[in-house]
Amino acid sequence: MNAASSTTNTPDTSGHASSGSPATHQAPAEALAALWAGANMPPEALSHVTLTGEDPVLPSSFAIGTAAQASLGASALAAAAIWAQRTGRWQDVSVDMRHALAEFRSERYLRVNGGPAPELWDKIAGLYPAGDGRWVRLHTNFPHHRDGVLKILKCAYDKDAVRAALSAWKAEDFETVASDAGMVVSAMRPLDEWLRHPQAQALRGLPPVIIEKIGDAPPEPLPAFGPHAEINVDARPLSGVRVLDFTRIIAGPVAGRTLAAHGADVLLVTAAHLPSMPSLVIDTGRGKRSCQLDLRDADDKRTQHKLFHGADVVVQGYRPNGLVELGAGPEAAARARPGIVYVSLSAYGHVGPWAGKRGFDSLVQTATGINTDEAQAAGSAEPKPLPAQVLDHASGYLLAFGAMVALHRRAVEGGSWHVRVSLAQVGQWLRSLGRVPGGAAVPDQHIDEISDLLEVEESGFGELTVVRHAAHLSETPAHWALPSVPLGTHAAEWLPR
């Protein structure tokens, strides 16, 4: 498939598609070509991509299969572009939509020692009706978020108690009070209300991935492999690339997992005092080493600074300005290591009144009208989420895509780079892809129906059943050379290049 001819069909990113809009959606090849052109990557790459399958695959009125295939395909094609820089030749890339969507639900399909993975959701997390008849979504999977919500509600740790307490609140009042206290909640909005919100207006017109040069540095091409693959049979596009992974939950960790799949040395950095979600640590830890540093500690901060000196890429997904306050923001990284590629994830974007607001995929879906539109399409009286954490996973692959685009530019132009992706901008992009007629009526998929896409591997947690990477590269098959391991398993140091 040659998608190059569709690079001019850049989608409208204003987010104005609604459940009342014409039920048409963009072709995956056009969506991928638009991402590629927006990043100013070589058009010839698009002639090496094959995309198979079509929406709907999972029950949704949104073109989630197109979003999965385009974002995952963009990351794979960027890896192929780096391979072409290092070897002088392109390789073929293919992505099947069914497989891409299975990988978008990788945490759902994870099995540990033949049984279910640890539970993802806290018992009071979810949607509740507020006293004004509107809905509120609570995210309480971290203990401090749970305890903070319960403190505001002055109720017991019980769904019925939470429901009763929220009946005394207006939805947006509770959202404001909880958000101001650093909690993660969202009032549910229909699309027209979201589009009038100052945050939506601030994001209007922004692309899903922003790639900016933030400092000067000489060009830094990655070492060449030569024209023949047999020179190094283990060579992959990102061999020798070092990635510091300051992320948790899904989107950021998926970015690191993707970079590891293409050969990068990914070092996950956590701290013993920070909460985590075990099933996500297992699923997104594939291919990574894992260390622990407390950046409040002077010695650990010095170790982090040394790691910056040796890094090519930093990926971070903590609350806005969280790492900046600890001296690990993009400007500090660029000073420590000119030529760094710093990749930032946020919930609602880096501009607008909600730039500092915490959030997760499910909350952004609720706040931006996606839950409302899905419910309307399905004929449901209650809010309906997407059938996967689509904003999280798409953001993860777009973060990886942006990182590799910046590495590709660094090789030619030099410079330090900052890549920005937000869940809300990705949600805006998802809307721009259009709606799928009859998509909400498609049956959901069970793990038995995607068994051909799974593989079994040993790990630091026992035997895992996991979804294989959905992008196929003809010369350098994506894979994870290292197993998932418990947090803090490794030393905080780089491997020899």
Determine which helix (DSSP H) or strand (DSSP E) holds 332, and give its type and residue range: helix 330-336
Q: Which position among 192, 294, 392, 444 bears the catalytic label?
A: 392
d(CA 253, CA 397): 10
Q: Which residue has the tokens 């970015």?
A: 255
CA distance from start to end of the chain: 36
Rounded (10°) CA dihedral 166, 167, 171, 174 = -40
d(CA 402, CA 473): 19
d(CA 271, CA 222): 31
d(CA 332, CA 336): 6
d(CA 492, CA 291): 5
Tokens of 49: 């991509």
d(CA 476, CA 80): 9
Q: What is the DSSP letter of 320?
A: T
d(CA 474, CA 455): 19
Q: Which residue has the tokens 């780079």?
A: 417
Residue 454 in contact with residue 445, Cβ under 8 Å?
A: no
Q: Which residue has the tokens 């990284």?
A: 333
DSSP 3-state of 280: helix
Q: Which residue has the tokens 């985590």?
A: 276
Residue 463 in contact with residue 456, Cβ under 8 Å?
A: yes
Q: How many angstroms separate the Cα of 363 from the Cα of each of 89, 205, 355, 390?
A: 43, 22, 15, 12
Q: Which residue has the tokens 């293919």?
A: 94
Q: C-alpha angle 75/78/84, rounded to 5°?
A: 150
Determine which helix (DSSP H) or strand (DSSP E) holds 203, and give its type and residue range: helix 198-203
Residue 408 in contact with residue 85, Cβ under 8 Å?
A: yes
Q: Tell me, yes or no, if 122 is annotated catalytic.
A: no
DSSP 3-state of 463: strand
Catalytic machinery residues:
392
